[in-house]
Amino acid sequence: MNKKENWNEIIKKWKESGNSQAGFCREKSISLPAFGYHYRKEAVSISKNGFIEIPIKTKETGNSSLSLEISQNGEIIIQIKQGNQKNCIILYSGFKPTV
């Protein structure tokens, strides 16, 4: 395994752990600045191809839903509902869908 593959594996394990970067690095005796460097480096390479992984942790509930809306002006709206709580995230990507 080369250095890049090794860091990709470390970052993958961090994402799966649910820990903060600092907590994960402390547990694994990894330098936090080195981890941050490689994490940002991975994020830049991902964004160059236009796709970004968004990990979603789910918990089974009877009253949950997720919706995604992309408007014609490029606004992206993500709504997450769990029980009586509703969270809304609005992003503007500059993305102009063709209709």
Q: Please report the pLDDT score of residue 63 as a whole number.
A: 72
CA gyration radius, the chain = 17
Q: How many whole angstroms separate alpha carbon 88 and alpha carbon 68?
A: 10
Q: How many whole angstroms separate alpha carbon 77 and alpha carbon 87?
A: 10
* pTM of the full structure: 0.44
- Per-residue pLDDT tens over the stretch 52-67: 556 666 666 567 777 7
Phi, psi angles (nearest 5°) of residue 74:
95, 5
Q: What is the mean pLDDT of residues 61-87?
A: 72
Q: How many whole angstroms separate alpha carbon 54 and alpha carbon 33?
A: 23
Q: Please report the pLDDT score of residue 26 as a whole number.
A: 94
- Per-residue pLDDT tens over the stretch 25-51: 999 999 999 999 888 887 666 555 555
The neighbour count for residue 7, using CB atoms within 10 Å, is 19
